[in-house]
Amino acid sequence: MYLCRNLLRKMALTAVICSSMPAMAVLPIQVQGNKILYGNSNISLCGNSLFWSNSGWGGEKFYNAASIEDLKINWHAGIVRAAMGVEDGGGYLSDPQGNVNRVDSVIDAAIKTNMYVIVDWHSSHAESYQKEAISFFQRLATKYGKYPNVIYEIYNEPLAVSWKETIRPYANAVISAIREKDPDNLIIVGVPNWSQDVDVAAQAPLSGINIAYAFHFYAGTHGQPFRYKLLTALQHRLPVFVTEWGTVNADGNGSVNIQETATWIRFLNAHKISYVNWAYNDKAEGASSFLPGTRKLSDSGKTILSLDRGCLGKL
């Protein structure tokens, strides 16, 4: 009953926002079986991930309202991902306030422009920083949990660790902490081996409502065997969200793999899986949307701009 009242409260909040804004505000997200529904729509939402938020890494200059407005207006993106670095230099552990300020700026802009926003604990060793993750996400849920825009991604890319013995205990602890403040916004959990083993997670899924599982791929490296992993997860009724993917190789370099990119996008659209591209940034690597030090589109950026504008999952 409480969850129903909370959902109605969020829908009422959406109605209030809609009445004061020219565009339609976002609807609450619900998980039903292996489907992630935006309101009642089963669609493939697509958008863009920012680069690491770490101080001094170069990607932080995109953590502002101007970038989010650009993605919304010019790219037609429906979702943005704030990839908050954690344990690496300049990340949350060494500069908590700087990173929190950047993430909050992105969230505020996403809410204002009626976009969904994934807040990503961008770590490959999150289980080592469980206490810090709980503190971060509880603050986030307290401040923003009333907004249906906000999605919590509590573990970016676990490495070759056990789903049952390492990731699940961490996820249960962080999810429980979030649910104390926000009972129903979507929570996404990374899976073993750089968030590729969704088939493994499907054998022992987490309990609770509105929980999904991250899947990452890069078209230049990952082909049909990885689509089989996704199919296995879906067949086991596991809801999957592609919170990071690239047109190039997994190391972020190389040229755009046109054929595999097209195959992946057809696959994701056919199965109504949402996907967020890495990365809206100008680092000197193939995965960046912009050429180094400019706002000129890279080959990957041109590809993603076309995909965002032609996205089938329009809200």
CB hemisphere CA count around 37 (13 angstroms): 8
Long-range Cβ contacts of 62-67 (<8 Å, 24+ apart): 62/280, 62/281, 63/102, 63/103, 63/105, 63/106, 64/105, 64/106, 64/109, 65/105, 65/108, 65/109, 65/112, 67/106, 67/109, 67/280
Sequence-ordered alpha helix ranges (H) in the chain: 2-20, 65-73, 96-112, 130-144, 168-179, 192-195, 198-201, 224-235, 258-270, 299-309
**Placement of tokens 């992105």 in the chain:** 106
Residues classed as catalytic: 157, 244
Q: Which two tokens stand for residue 88?
A: 């690496």
* CA 285 – CA 296 distance, rounded (Å): 14
The first and second tokens of residue 55, run together, are 């101080």
Residue 119 backbone zone (phi > 0: left; psi -120 to 50: alpha; other: beta) = beta
Kindly report the number of other CB atoms within 10 A of residue 171's CB atom. Answer: 27
120-142 as b/e, with b when 16 or more CB fall inside 10 Å?
bbbbbebbebbebbbebbbebbe
